[in-house]
Amino acid sequence: MPARVSLFVTCIVDQLFPEVGLAAADVLERIGYTVDFPEKQTCCGQPAFNTGYRDEAREVACHCLEVLAGADYVVVPSGSCASMITHHYDELFARDPARLEAVRRLKPRVWEFSKFLLEVAGVEDVGARYDGVVTFHDSCHGLRELGIKEGPRRLLGRVQGLTLREMDIPEECCGFGGTFSVKFPSISGGMSRTKIESIVKTGADAVVGVDASCLLQLRGALSRDGLPIRALHLAQVLAAH
């Protein structure tokens, strides 16, 4: 009986980039896991939490806790949403002992996609092939809250045909920042241009990341500027063969 993982695809992937969720499922199945998708899942609550609407965030987080309660492993193709559960639910439920207990039980089972591959599955080579030059964007919450830095690079390093070329500022924010992107569009847009300049300099034909939200921002700006550079989730690259 192979181990079972539950995908928490995030609302952005569900609604905007379903191909990322499918790619993550493909990779996990390829390395021997049984993948399920708890159908009642929606969002982790981060949009409200980061905009100061704690009550609304808590309501949605309660729902998320219930939906994921029965999972052995929860794999999330997003550093930011995984970190919302593992690093911010505590604070959200600080005054709710029962739910805090549920958070404590859930936390160790929640894994960001690349960390799951490396630290739980112990797999570095997933048998992928991608012919092209890519550059890797470090997503802020993945990098600074979950310590995701070398992992995705190790995974990319084992992809046949792939060349990884680093940016001069891989760790600089893409400018998304959730509602920041629409509350301060000019600043957010400016930040994405700084990042894009650095992406273009690498000569890569795709920028790869572990958060669909950063890719939404980067791809949106690349598209507006007429630049033919793709923005791909790590799962999409690892699913390719």
Binding footprint of other proteins on the chain (CB under 8 A): 9, 11, 13-18, 21-22, 25, 37, 39-43, 45, 47-54, 56, 59-60, 62-63, 140-141, 144-145, 171-173, 175-192, 194, 216-217, 219-221, 223-224
To other proteins, the closest distance from the beta carbon of 209 in angstroms equals 14
To other proteins, the closest distance from the beta carbon of 160 in angstroms equals 25
Is 65 in contact with 49 (CB distance < 8 Å)? Answer: no
- The residue type of 188 is S
If the CB atoms of residues 152 and 175 are measured against other proteins, the closer one turns out to be 175
If the CB atoms of residues 160 and 223 are measured against other proteins, the closer one turns out to be 223
Residue whose C-alpha is closest to residue 27's, from 207, 206, 241:
241
If the CB atoms of residues 56 and 205 are measured against other proteins, the closer one turns out to be 56
If the CB atoms of residues 153 and 230 are measured against other proteins, the closer one turns out to be 230
To other proteins, the closest distance from the beta carbon of 116 in angstroms equals 18
If the CB atoms of residues 49 and 159 are measured against other proteins, the closer one turns out to be 49
Q: What is the dihedral of CA 200, 159, 11, 224, to 10 degrees?
A: 20
User: What stretch of H or E contains 135?
Assistant: strand 129-136
Is 130 in contact with 156 (CB distance < 8 Å)? Answer: no
To other proteins, the closest distance from the beta carbon of 84 in angstroms equals 11
To other proteins, the closest distance from the beta carbon of 183 in angstroms equals 5
If the CB atoms of residues 141 and 159 are measured against other proteins, the closer one turns out to be 141
To other proteins, the closest distance from the beta carbon of 122 in angstroms equals 25
- Alpha carbon distances (Å) from 219 to 3, 204, 207, 223, 233: 35, 14, 9, 6, 11
Is 15 in contact with 47 (CB distance < 8 Å)? Answer: no
CB half-sphere exposure, 128, CA atoms < 13 A? 28
* DSSP-derived 3-state class of residue 22: helix
